Structure 1
Amino acid sequence: MAPLPKYSAILFDCDGVLVDSESTTNGVLHQMLQELGWQLSADECIARFVGKMLRDEADVIEEHTGFRIDEEWMTEFRRQRNAQLEASLQAIPGVVDAVERVAEIYPGRIACASGADRPKIELQLRKIGLFDAFEGRIFSGMEQPKSKPAPDVYLAAAASRGIDPAEAAVIEDSPTGVIAGAAAGSHVLGFCPDSSVHQSADTLLAAGAAETFSEMEQLPGLLAE
């Protein structure tokens, strides 16, 4: 018997869930913050900024550097970030096959709901060969009134599918994203592989995840009856 869906739709985060981008993005950020005079370590940069909107951290950056990040600085950050992503971005191991299997269970009912800007999301999905799987169902938190940890991007994605967000499952890897999915009322599955840029299962459960998993090969089975 073919697997049956447990939810009305599946809403995927992007960075850290579909693409292994956090090390690359934070490497660029770490270098640019050091150039502003903030001599934080690479690990501290990851701990402070992974899963967060950079523009929302302007006060913290100004506190440590005396510089208020502006649109010119953000444009340069995105330029350097995108160049590095184009050169080195990899898919999360096993995710392409997992998404394809989930899409068979949920035809037309999967979406990508990221806190990142749309050009970055689309660049990354194209790079790993998943753009077609999500085309027309890609949502950027930067295009919503509030980004994660507010639930707006997940509410928008659920509304686009015409479903109650409480009937959707959200796939997230950061506490910020887990909080957003839970605030939308969705069932949140926390992805927590053994990685320096991912959180522990306990951290994601404490943020509101209903359950966790550590390998993408597990995901289709978790989403099917």
Structure 2
Amino acid sequence: MGLPRSWETFSQIPIHGTVYISYKCAPEDRNFKVRRSYLEVYSNWPCGVQEEEVLWWASTNEVPVDVMEFLEFVIERYDNVYEAFDDIKSTRNTQVLNLRDFEEGLKRVKCKKFKGRREVEKITGIFRYLDPSGEGQVTRSEWGILELCHKEMVYSIQEFVHFCNRSFGNDLNAAWAVFDVNGDNFISEAEWVSVARSFSYFGPTLPIFRFLDRDDEAGLGWGDRM
């Protein structure tokens, strides 16, 4: 993956088009000194804060759906993501988690989120996301990306609750009636997204929908309401 090697030759670089670039860095690999220097040099923004003062965050829009599903399982069951790491990893005295440990650990903690034909594929995909270095093992620090995603999820939910209060007051029935477009007492993903946009809510909507859809039925019933 990455940019074509041919682009090393200036004449081979396309003169139009769009390039999408993503950057993923495990918490244990981030270099605060370099990041701070880039901020000061390229943004001309003096930065006098220390690393321990930074509130690290992650965008859930860039996180695969299966990873978010796994995070939902974790936060429903544990007080923090590191408790899940300790519970899922092998009982061996180790601070790393390999794919076999991960698979067996999910069975041991009775995670059934991914039951079906693609279960192995989904679990492997989650593990690969948590292992950005590709070393075949996830450290406790790398696992910390889930904590950053959790912060964003909680903040997004709080923002959405504020939006509902502004739009519908404290009347949950009124909000439900608006989102349940066809009146079948069931809110589909399409209804959820379209109504939120029509009321000028431009924050992330799908992570909140999937968090509320705890029975994984691809829709919300009255019992799923916040």
What is the TM-score normalised by the length of structure 2? 0.25
Q: Relative contact order: is structure 1 or structure 2 higher (C-alpha 8 Å, sep ≥ 6)?
A: 1
Q: Which has the higher helix share?
A: 2
